[in-house]
Structure formats: structure tokens, C-alpha cells
């Protein structure tokens, strides 16, 4: 089984440009999570999505960041007008279900975003 | 606010030494607990998880962790480390119970270097 796939693995953008990060969950998984790892810090939750629904976006910056998980295709994390502080590793994870007996989340390889 | 503390940021051991990495969380309710490992150049992999039942959990590669509810701790252990265990280790928690979503709260990680 293919694991969680993310692309691109590395992304370089200049300040003011847009970054689009893609995540394809594991087969059979319908829940997607995005996390961000800033330099010298642990992973921080950003957003939790199910197909066509944002369940929890409490970790998303209020501006410039958006996420979607359409009915068809990968989940997309979009960062508009990037700034140097957006440079980080962005990880996607997926799980087959959620609820009181939470399933473990399986992580992709991450996208390393560098903003020049 | 809910948080996860990993007190050892860097650990250096010789091969065959025993390992214990500390993890404490601040949440009074039911929790699901995880240890993830990130080998150099690779993505996060699940080492072990605790949802309920026996508080001593066995994971892959000879790792185990013990959930001590009274101490809010979930320490990771391995009786004899190998050079290949060199990696960064992350403790994570999902506070479960009514209204909670499935977001992982991570510690800042512990970098383990095993000397041959």
C-alpha cells in the first residue's frame, strides 16, 4: 500500500508568491491533517479535514492560509503572498476514522518550503 | 492550554545502553498517546500508541512505553539501543472525549544520537 504522499518535497518561493502543497492520503483514509514544523520547534497542528469539509482549523493562521480536501483529488494547503516566516516543513497525515477511539495518524514525507 | 513536554532535547548514548525518554502532558481527561520517530531524511513513523487497556505498550523495534496516569507521563524505553536508533523522537497526545477533535499535540522532540 502506498503511504501518504506529498508533493512537492521541496518548494522555493519568493516573498509575495503563492505556495500550493498537495497531499494524497493513504488508500482508504478519509481524514487529512496538516501540521507545520518551524525550525527548532515541534510539529504544530494546523487543520483537520474530511472530504469537502473543514472539521477543525484552529491552528491555521487567520490570513493567507487556506486548505481544502475536495471530493476528488488531493488535499491542498495554499499559502498566499508568502513571507520568510512561512519557511518550514509542512506535514500531512491521514487516518481512516476519528471519534472517541481515535485512529493513529500516518504521516507523509513533508514539503520543505523555503521563502527567499 | 494543553501541552506536551519532552524534557530531554538531546540524548547521546553508546550502543547497548538503555534508553528512557520522558514525556509528560497537561490534560486532565482521557488521552490517546503516541510516540513517533523520525530517522534522518525520513518522515515520521509511528512507534507505538496507547488508547486503553494495559498501560505498558509494546511497539516496533523493541521499544515500549508506559502510561502512568497519576503522573501524566508516557515515557519511552528500550533496554539496549543500536546505532540505527539514531533519530528524533516525538511524543504526542490526542485529548479525547466529548467535543475534542483528532488533532495531535506534539512535544518538541528529543534528538537521540547512538555512538557505535
Query: B108 is written with which cell numbers?
Result: 518538541
**Which residue among B43, B103, B108 sits closest to A108, beta carbon to beta carbon?**
B43
Residue B77 and residue B47: Cα distance in Å, rounded?
11
Residue whose C-alpha cell reads 518550503 in the numeric block: A113
> Other CB atoms closer than 10 Å to residue A98's CB: what's the count?
22
Q: Do A109 and B103 touch (CB under 8 A)?
A: no
Kindly state the average pLDDT of the residues A2-15.
Answer: 94
Q: Do A33 and B103 touch (CB under 8 A)?
A: yes
The reported pLDDT for the residue numbered B43 is: 85
Q: Do B102 and A58 touch (CB under 8 A)?
A: no
The pLDDT tens digits of the residues spanning B26-50 come to 987 888 999 999 998 888 999 999 9
Residue whose C-alpha cell reads 547512538 in the numeric block: B114
Which H/E stretch holds residue A28? none
The reported pLDDT for the residue numbered A103 is: 73
> Other CB atoms closer than 10 Å to residue A96's CB: what's the count?
15
Query: A17 is written with which cell numbers?
Result: 508568491
Taking CB atoms and an 8 Å cutoff, what residues of chain A touch B51?
101-102
Task: State yes or no: cis peptide before A8, omega within 30 of 0.
Answer: yes
Taking CB atoms and an 8 Å cutoff, what residues of chain B touch A102?
32, 51, 94, 96, 102
Query: A73 is written with which cell numbers?
Result: 483529488
How many CB pairs below 8 A link A and B? Answer: 63
Residue A14 and residue B47: Cα distance in Å, rounded?
37
Which of 36-65 (B) contact A at CB < 8 A?
A: 36, 42-46, 49, 51-52
Name the nearest CA neighbour of A75 among A95, A51, A106, A104.
A51
Judge contact between B71 and A10, C-beta under 8 A.
no
The pLDDT tens digits of the residues spanning A36-51 come to 998 778 899 999 999 8
Query: A74 is written with which cell numbers?
Result: 488531493
Taking CB atoms and an 8 Å cutoff, what residues of chain A touch B44?
43, 91, 93, 107
Residue B110 and residue B81: Cα distance in Å, rounded?
15
The reported pLDDT for the residue numbered B70 is: 92
A102 DSSP assignment: P
The reported pLDDT for the residue numbered A100 is: 47
User: Along the 116 residues of chain B, how does pLDDT read in single tens digits?
Assistant: 678 999 889 999 999 999 999 999 998 788 899 999 999 888 899 999 998 899 999 999 999 999 999 999 999 999 999 999 999 999 999 887 545 578 899 999 999 999 98
Q: Do A101 and B51 touch (CB under 8 A)?
A: yes
A62: Cβ contacts below 8 Å, ≥ 6 apart: none
Name the nearest CA neighbour of B21 among B30, B33, B32, B10.
B10
Q: Do B106 and A93 touch (CB under 8 A)?
A: no
Amino acid at each position: 500500500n502506498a503511504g501518504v504522499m506529498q508533493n512537492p518535497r521541496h518548494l522555493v518561493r519568493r516573498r509575495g508568491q503563492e505556495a500550493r502543497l498537495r497531499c494524497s492520503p493513504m488508500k482508504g483514509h478519509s481524514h487529512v491533517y496538516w501540521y507545520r514544523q518551524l525550525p527548532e520547534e515541534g510539529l504544530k497542528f494546523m487543520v483537520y479535514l474530511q472530504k469537502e469539509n473543514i472539521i477543525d482549523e484552529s491552528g491555521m493562521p487567520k490570513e493567507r492560509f487556506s486548505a481544502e480536501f475536495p471530493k476528488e483529488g488531493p488535499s491542498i494547503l495554499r499559502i498566499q503572498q508568502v513571507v520568510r516566516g512561512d519557511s518550514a516543513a509542512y506535514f500531512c497525515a491521514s487516518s481512516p476514522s476519528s471519534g472517541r477511539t481515535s485512529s493513529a495518524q500516518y504521516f507523509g514525507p513533508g514539503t520543505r518550503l523555503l521563502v527567499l | 492550554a494543553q501541552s506536551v513536554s519532552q524534557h530531554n532535547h538531546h540524548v547521546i548514548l553508546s550502543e547497548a545502553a538503555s534508553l528512557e525518554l520522558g514525556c509528560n502532558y497537561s490534560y486532565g481527561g482521557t488521552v490517546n498517546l503516541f510516540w513517533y520517530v523520525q530517522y534522518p531524511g525520513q518522515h515520521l513513523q509511528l512507534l507505538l500508541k496507547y488508547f486503553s487497556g494495559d498501560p505498558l505498550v509494546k511497539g516496533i523495534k523493541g521499544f515500549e512505553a508506559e502510561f502512568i496516569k497519576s503522573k501524566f507521563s508516557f515515557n519511552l524505553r528500550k533496554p539496549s539501543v543500536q546505532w540505527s536508533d539514531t533519530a528524533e523522537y516525538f511524543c504526542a497526545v490526542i485529548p479525547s472525549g466529548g467535543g475534542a477533535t483528532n488533532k495531535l499535540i506534539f512535544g518538541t522532540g528529543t534528538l537521540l544520537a547512538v555512538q557505535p
